[in-house]
Amino acid sequence: MNAPTAVKADTGVAQRALSAHATIGLIVSALLYLLCVTGTVIVFKEEWQRVEQPGAPEMASISPEAMQTGIRNVLATEAGKPTTTHLYVHLPVPALPRTTVTTDTQAVHLAADGSIVGPEENGWATFLEDIHYRLTMPGLTGYAVVGAFGTMMLALIFSGVAAHPRIFRDAFHLRARNRTGVGLSDWHNRLGVWTLPFAVAIALTGAVLGLSVVSGYGLASAFYGGDIEKVYGPVFGEEHPADATPAALPDAAAALRAMATDHPEAHPYYVVLHDPGTAGQAVQIIAEYPKRLIFGEYFTFDAAGRLHGTAGLADGTVGQQIAASNYRLHFGNFGGLPVKIAYAVFGIALCVVCATGVSIWLGKRARRGHREPRLRAAWDAVVWGVPLALTLALLARLLIGNAAPMAAIFWGLSVALVFAGIVFGARWSTAGRDLARGFWGSLAATTVIATAGAL
């Protein structure tokens, strides 16, 4: 092949990749931008919980005996209610130094002596999780959609790299902003290169987390009669055999003491009681390992506090350890506040990449004579409307409480703003750009205040 032919072939590949990149970007842009924004904000999930309930009791640790007392106190309040099948104790950790007990019907904060202080109210943090995990959709639909968007994000990343052969060579070359739009394109491309490893990790783990839920239930339905535990058991450990015969509460305190004595290298942060008050009950402790990416190891104890075994997430198969590392890698909840700040910075960069991608495409069409002021206004409404809607949903939570209709406020306002952009066109787009700075700034300032107040 001679040189001109090779150049022509390379150009053809780049043009096809660019076309695929633009097509995928237009299809997924709005929801992908939403996922990037909520993913950036949810990095500070624990800090948001502390902002929501600043008066909840905090402690560096809780004694095993006080924890056991708290379990008894909580279950005593559930007399006459449906039997709790799983009870969770969140132990104090540096990011969230609180003790919380959650059952099938309630969640409450404990004082250091195990007494009940009041209900846990973290509606904003829960709303953020719900919108980022499944776009507030019911059932498995949301997980499937979010997982699919992870794969589309990967396609966007690789098609974007393929469409720009000089993208790495020009990684630090920025041209001046001008009417041709090359300045905006440069920022889009440079931020894409600078965040490339982070973006690939986020997209890949997001796709795995979302689609694994759907595939897990699919396998359970097809091969295990709908028993999801049989699907996840080989990776995360099997459930203890059920036996509904009444029995005394398990000695979770003894299990916690055994962890401190026999496994001092592991730091417990969750205690789970399976079928408490029955003969089939068991105690499971989830403990993290410093300087490991896995979210933790499952230690299973019997009702007397004797260790029965572990799930193998810390020292099992490579597949188990990879599966146990996806969550932390995706959300950045390892390494403390410095890692969270780094994830937030990279997350904001991804938001900019998503936002500028459509703006660049609209600019190219305008330069070819295809001006679309209504479409541009609608896109501007997405870019500044998402942080505005999130901010107002947060204000509703702080003013009204956990009962605030945060999902309705968010989606209602977001749709209304896009509709207004379509109706009013360029006039709405100009106003939107002015408001964008203010509401992005307010959301950023609120995040900084939340982080500072939690320190």
Give 105-155 as a DSSP string.
Answer: S-EEEE-TTS-EEEE---HHHHHHHHHHHHTT-STTHHHHHHHHHHHHHHH
Residue 289 lies in a domain: yes
Residue 256 lies in a domain: yes
Query: Domain range spanning residue 249?
Result: 54-120+238-310
Asked if 185 and 177 count as a contact pair (C-beta separation under 8 A), the reply is no
What are the DSSP calls for 161-176, one per residue?
HHH-TTTTTTTT--PP
DSSP for residue 284:
E
Q: What is the pLDDT of residue 85?
A: 92
SS3 at position 228: helix
Residue 109 lies in a domain: yes
| Residue type present at position 250 | P
Residue 77 lies in a domain: yes
Residue 136 lies in a domain: no
Q: What is the pLDDT of residue 121?
A: 94
Q: How far apart are CA 316 and CA 318, in angstroms?
A: 7
User: How confident is the chain (455 residues) per 10-residue block, as mean pLDDT?
Assistant: 48 58 63 93 93 94 97 92 91 96 96 96 94 90 89 84 70 55 72 87 91 78 70 70 88 96 95 94 94 92 93 88 90 90 94 87 79 81 89 91 94 89 67 56 57 51
Residue 298 lies in a domain: yes
Residue 330 lies in a domain: no
- How many structural domains are present in the chain? 1
Torsion of CA 375, 380, 385, 388, to 10 degrees: -170
pTM of the model: 0.84
Q: What is the pLDDT of residue 7?
A: 45
Q: What is the pLDDT of residue 49?
A: 94
Asked if 363 and 353 count as a contact pair (C-beta separation under 8 A), the reply is no
Residue 75 lies in a domain: yes
Q: What is the pLDDT of residue 8?
A: 47
